[in-house]
Amino acid sequence: MAGSGAAASFGAFVLAACGSGGKSSSTTTGAATTNATSATSGGGDVAIANYALTLEYLETEFYAKVAASGLFSGRSAALIKDFGAQEQTHVEALEGAVSKLGGTPAEKPSGRFPIESAKRVTELAYTVENLGAAAYLGQAARIQNAELLAAALSIHSVEARHAATLGTVLGRSITPDGAFAKPADMQTVLATVKPFLA
């Protein structure tokens, strides 16, 4: 697949779309990024869940736009729709988690994504899903609530399986970081996701 630079940048978008570790960024701007930052600035499990929720909103929108693009057909289109439906289920679970923890679910941002060709989208999705898995890993040690931790680890596993499936399709590594996955921090993710927010 083409566009490794774009893939790296867009991959950070879904890293964002699936959560991350570390501190919220004070350097990102734009309404959607500001919403993500303010939703997480209070710290604690509600902030972590809202951060992941904001990013899952973006990932869900990405897959919906890819599905609507007409770039894929047959089994490939079905796979894209399945991934999108699973990301939507992540959204619903995280909205429920935020409410159960006594918080208010984050506002849904709008995204803008480079959907140019089936080949490029597949490469970007591979990068995105690997980064999404890394993002959840980045938050795991900070989560205090056992139910939220279980949900985050479950979502992390699905993101990694999405990445492995896409890696197989592309003939790329299903474990790009080797035997141990690398976490990603929230500040880096929020800074990188900024270009993909409308």
Is 101:93 a contact under the CB 8 Å cutoff?
Answer: no
Burial of 129 (0-12, 13-18, 19+ CB in 10 A): buried
Residue 32: the pLDDT is 43
Compute the distance between CA of residue 87 and CA of residue 80 in angstroms, rounded to an integer.
Answer: 11
Residue 131: the pLDDT is 78
Residue 127: the pLDDT is 79
Compute the distance between CA of residue 99 and CA of residue 89 in angstroms, rounded to an integer.
Answer: 15
Q: Report the predicted TM-score, pTM, of the whole model to 2 decimal places.
A: 0.77
Q: Per-block average pLDDT, block size 10, for the chain (198 residues)? A: 38 38 34 45 82 89 95 94 97 96 94 89 85 87 94 94 94 92 82 73
**Residue ranges of domains in the chain:** 4-196
For the structural domain made of 4-196, what CATH number should be given?
1.20.1260.10
Residue 112: the pLDDT is 87
Closest CA to 80 of 45, 47, 116, 118: 118
Print burial letters for 44-69: b (CB count within 10 Å at least 16), e (below 16): ebbbbbbbbbbbbbbbbbbbbebbeb
Residue 24: the pLDDT is 34
